[in-house]
Amino acid sequence: MQATERMNWTDVRDRIHAMILDGTFGPGAMLPRDMDLAASFGCGRTTVQRAMTDLSDAGIVERRRKVGTRVAEAPVARAVLDIPVIRKEIEGRGARYRHKLLHQGLELPPPRIAAAMAAPDGAEMLHVQALHLADGRPHSWEDRWISVATVPEIVNVDLSDESANEWLVRNRPYDRCDHVIEAVAADPEVAAMLDVAAGTALLSLDRTTWIGDAAVTCVRLISAPGYRLISRG
């Protein structure tokens, strides 16, 4: 008597994945229909569906109605980065967090910012610059523009107490956000703030956040040397 094991959808996913990895189905090959796979695994079609959704999300297979499921040709490497709130990250390392407001004022944004936020010409925004410190040492420098049109009450908030990011997250949580990651050389101003030599290679992370189609804020975070973004999976 054969013991018939009950399979999870994760088991089904892993068995399909294994068949792709060991060459049973090579890049570009068609997989059987969900119903046939379900029959061969002895499970319902829904379970195969669930497994396929996961493989499809991971970019391992491509599914099209009427056509079927195909093993992806050029597997992209997908890195999922969790970018924590800076204060949480610092406190999570057991260090003391402090935040220093350097500048705050209504100004006309440079074209780069206005374009990223799809803002009309001549619209003033709140410009904020701040420094994040871990145990008193510079951790990162923040250069932020906030849309007064989207968040009018921001002009009356005291940002020396709470960081702009945390106020926004609590009071105007965003829908979605874009990120751009690049390497930059420290200009003299940033170098002085972060206490490094001008020209030092630093990681820059730009984030634009949106509520629906209205831009909330566009922030550039430049971190002190040694900062890394890590993704495990």
Partner DNA sequence: AAGTGGTCTAGACCACTGA
Partner DNA sequence: CAGTGGTCTAGACCACTTG
Alpha-carbon span 143 to 190, nearest angstrom: 10
Q: How far is the CB of 119 from a second copy (least distance, A)?
A: 18
Residues 6 or more apart in contact with residue 148 via CB below 8 angstroms: 106, 123, 124, 125, 126, 154, 155
* Residue 15 binding result from a second copy, DNA, none, given CB thresholds of 5 to 8 Å by partner type: none
176 binding partner (options DNA, a second copy, none; Cβ < 5 to 8 Å by kind): a second copy
Tell me if 112 contacts a second copy by CB under 8 A: no
Q: Nearest CA to 62 among 38, 86, 28?
A: 28
Cα-based torsion angle of the residue sequence 135, 137, 143, 148 in order, rounded to the nearest 10 degrees: 30
The residue (of 47 and 147) whose beta carbon lies closer to DNA is 47
Q: In whole angstroms, what is the distance from residue 37 CA to residue 11 CA?
A: 13
Using the rule CB under 8 A, which residue among 1, 3, 67, 77 binds a second copy? 77
Take residue 135 and report the two structure tokens written for it: 């145990």
Q: How far is the CB of 43 from DNA (least distance, A)?
A: 3
The answer to whether residue 64 forms part of the interface with DNA (CB under 7 A) is yes
Query: Which of the choices a second copy, DNA, none does residue 152 contact, using the CB cut-off of 5 to 8 A by kind?
Result: none
Q: Distance of CA 227 to CAs 38, 134, 137, 181, Å? A: 47, 13, 13, 12
Of the candidates 33, 31, 29, 23, the one whose C-alpha atom is nearest the C-alpha of residue 73 is: 29
For 125, phi then psi, to 5°, come to -135, 165
Tell me which of a second copy, DNA, none is bound by residue 34, counting a contact when its beta carbon lies within the kind-specific cut-off of 5 to 8 angstroms: DNA
58 is a contact residue toward DNA (CB under 7 A): no
Q: Which does 56 bind (CB under 5 to 8 A by kind): DNA, a second copy, none?
A: DNA
CA distance 208 to 175: 11
The binder of DNA chosen from 14, 53, 101, 124 (CB under 7 A) = 53
Give the span between the Cα atoms of 203 and 181, in whole angstroms.
7
- By CB under 8 A, the residues from 176 to 205 that bind a second copy are 176-185, 199-204
- Residue 141 Cβ vs a second copy, minimum distance, rounded to whole Å: 14
Candidate segments 37-45, 83-91, 148-156, 183-191, binder of DNA by CB under 7 A: 37-45
63/172 with CB nearer DNA: 63
Binding to DNA, residues 125-144 (CB under 7 A):
none
Which residues contribute to the site for a second copy (CB under 8 A)? Answer: 20-21, 27, 59, 74-85, 88, 169-170, 173, 175-185, 199-204, 207, 211, 225-233
